[in-house]
Chains A and B, each alone.
Chain A
Amino acid sequence: MKIKPKAYFLIGIMAMMIVAIVLSIGFHYWEAKVLPLSISSFILLLAALELRAELRAEDKGSGSDAESYKGDEAEIESHRFYSGMGWILGFCIGTYLLGFLIAIPLFTLSYLKVQGRSLVASLSVAAILFVFIYLSFELGLAAQLFPGVIFDR
């Protein structure tokens, strides 16, 4: 029997609830433990019931999952997902190293160029976004954007 992602998600939730229950039991005061303990136990019970229903539906072959794509389509989707997550992580690492004000135009420009957009369009979007973020956050809200570990000295 092949377990579907939906079931893995529920197993993940159940594992999280078991951790929450164990941690809650360790709290010293009953006022601190009563709600987390009861809520996590309740979710654990519901998730177990849902998992049972899910596995039964899989056994009967009546699962109508939107995620159960076959073959190429699933492969293309997972490729797109990893590529998207790669860009997100890339932006986060760039921000951590170089700071927001350098990472924002750099990320926008490189993303748009990789997607095949013209240099003028990519540069314009990067510049507009940079100006918007600088004006609204740094000047408007007087928030200090992270300068990056390289420049934060």
Chain B
Amino acid sequence: MVDAYIQAVVALFQPMTLFAILAGMIVGIVIGILPAIGGMVGCSLFLPFLWKMDPLIAMGFLIALQASTSQGGCITAILINIPGTNPNAATLLDGFPMNQNGEGGRAIGAALMSSIWGGVLPVFLALAMIPVIVPIVLAFRAPELFTLVLLGLSFLSLLSGDSPRKGLISGGLGLLFSLVGFQGLTGTHRFTFGSLFLYNGLELVAIPLGLFGLAEMVDMLTKGQETIAPEAVKNRSQGMSFRDVYKGTKDVYRHKLLWLRSAIIGYIVGMVPGIGAEVAVFVAYAQAKQMSKNPEKFGHGCVEGVIAPESASNAKEAGSLLTTMAFGIPGGALMAILMAGFLLVGVTPGPQMMGENLPLALTLLLGIALANLLSGLICLGAAPYLGRVSFVHIDFLFPVVLVLIMTGAFVVANSMLNIITVIVFGLLGLCMKRFGYSRPALLLGFVLGEQFEFYFFRSWKLFGPTFFMTPISLVMLVIIVVLFCYPYLRKALPRISRRLRKI
């Protein structure tokens, strides 16, 4: 185990790994600042570039990109009241009022410093947990792995989307799409309609490119979404000095218990599959308000209201990555895309990764800490100027993003038919977004589909139809049943308690 830690540190400081992390970080900051493109679109866009790359370099790039988007996003949230990424939504509640009160620099300083420490500390928590998690994960056999996949799917399907039913439809569709192609077990061609292109199944990269990349672009065009006027950003970042930013960083040290609490909340929420970063940041915001001596100041420009969500938002990544790598169950939408990246470069997250690829897993965790630290420092240094990136107009974004999507789709499959797949999934993603269906659940269903079927038949062959009667599987099945029943129980419980009171 100690060897793996040493190997991870050595691998992290290899020039190519550092370069990949640096490149991912810069791309991530820019994507985070552009209000039109979030982390999900950004990560999907760069998936085709990972093709043929060394797993460490490819995933180092993607992880750094993902970790830095939130730090770039807090700048636009504070300056122009538009969150660069979804987790920054809670930051603008107090960040923007602070900016209106002439404390924009202080808000940015506090947000960035708390996100640096919020991103670094939980990585060490995750590293400390790995020696405990590895033996547990390695003890899992086919039945446990099957129920684990089922548990992950249930979490994401039931907890995302407008309603559990819509989440389940989305997850089920993903599973069904994963069954397209040649089934090795029986030699059957399923849903290929005689097309050679579909014999190997739907291309993994095409799904996120369509569902997130193309769908977001078409949605933005359709809504006629405008980005902010350059003058507005210029006016709002004018008068902001480094002294203000420094004052904000000192605020974080004054409220060190707050950021520590928020980071732990973010880390724990991040470990639960299916719960998005949005939940982590609002839970952290709520606890900060509840425990504050001046809760009435929240929402009117209170620095604690900036520190708590930013700390939780970045802390979530380490927890989420740990669950993804150790159990093969993505913590959320971004992690589902990251999982697609892992599979693309030939690494299967889960027990296999914790066994054979443990140094890679540890390097990636350390990479998150490094990316958070460096991107935070870069943003701190360039804070007064970075906001100006956000005035890139949709007119310029659309052709650039479209070309990247279509070229990427072609390159990974070397087929023009993959472009049609992207368009079909783009339209499906647009409908799902408009009608409240969960796109991450569909992606997760697709990503986990192969394992789902593999472990199902393996368990059946080895242990017969009662393969799920093992203690760990049963515990996970009970959790799944509780998850399914929870929405109905929540509705029924007040009725039951009213009746009981009457009696």
Which residue numbers of A lie inside 8 Å of B, CB to CB?
A: 5-6, 9, 13, 20, 23-24, 27-29, 31-32, 35-36, 39-40, 42-43, 46-47, 49-50, 66-67, 76-77, 80-81, 83-85, 87-88, 91-92, 95-96, 100, 104, 107-108, 111-112, 115, 117, 125, 129, 133, 136-137, 141-146
Contact = CB atoms under 8 A, between A and B. Distances in A.
A143 B399 CA distance: 21
Given A39-B175, A125-B396, A96 B402 contact: no
B179 A36 contact: yes
Contacts of A76: 224
B51 A92 contact: no
B5 interface: no
B411 A13 contact: no
Interface in B388-405: 395-396, 398-400, 402-404
Interface string B171-212: 011011001000101101011000000000000000000000
B365 to A, nearest CB: 27
B82 to A, nearest CB: 19
Contacts of A143: 51, 411, 414
B395 A27 contact: no
Given A32-B188, A80-B222, A100-B407, A112 B173 contact: no
Given A9-B431, A28-B186, A129 B395 contact: no
* 6 residue pairs, one from A and one from B, having the closest CB atoms: A32-B188, A84-B221, A29-B186, A43-B172, A115-B395, A108-B399
Contacts of B398: 84, 87, 111
B176 A40 contact: yes
A88 B396 contact: no
A112 B399 contact: yes
A81 B218 contact: yes
B423 A46 contact: no
A13 B190 CA distance: 18
B406 A77 contact: no
A96 B406 CA distance: 12
Contacts of B175: 35, 39
B410 A88 contact: no
13 contacts: A5-B434, A28-B186, A35-B175, A35-B453, A36-B190, A43-B176, A95-B416, A107-B403, A117-B396, A125-B399, A129-B403, A133-B404, A133-B407
Interface of B: 49, 51-52, 165-166, 168-169, 172-173, 175-176, 179, 183, 185-186, 188, 190-191, 214, 217-218, 221-224, 395-396, 398-400, 402-404, 406-407, 410-411, 414, 416, 419, 423, 431, 434-435, 452-453, 456-457
A129 B218 contact: no
Given A46-B172, A77-B222, A81-B222, A117 B183 contact: no
B416 A129 contact: no
Contact of B403 (A32, A81, A84, A108): A108
A104 B407 CA distance: 9
Contacts of A80: 221-224
Contacts of B400: 108, 125, 129
A146 B190 contact: no
B423 A88 contact: yes
B150 to A, nearest CB: 12
A13 B169 contact: yes
B457 A31 contact: yes
Contact of B186 (A32, A125, A137, A144): A32
Contacts of A84: 217-218, 221-222, 398
Contacts of A91: 402-403, 406
Contacts of B214: 88
Contacts of B51: 141, 143
A138 to B, nearest CB: 10
B434 A141 contact: no
Given A50-B169, A85-B218, A20 B434 contact: no
Contacts of A13: 169, 173
Contacts of A141: 49, 51-52, 411
Nearest to B49: A136
A145 B407 contact: yes
Contacts of B179: 35-36, 39
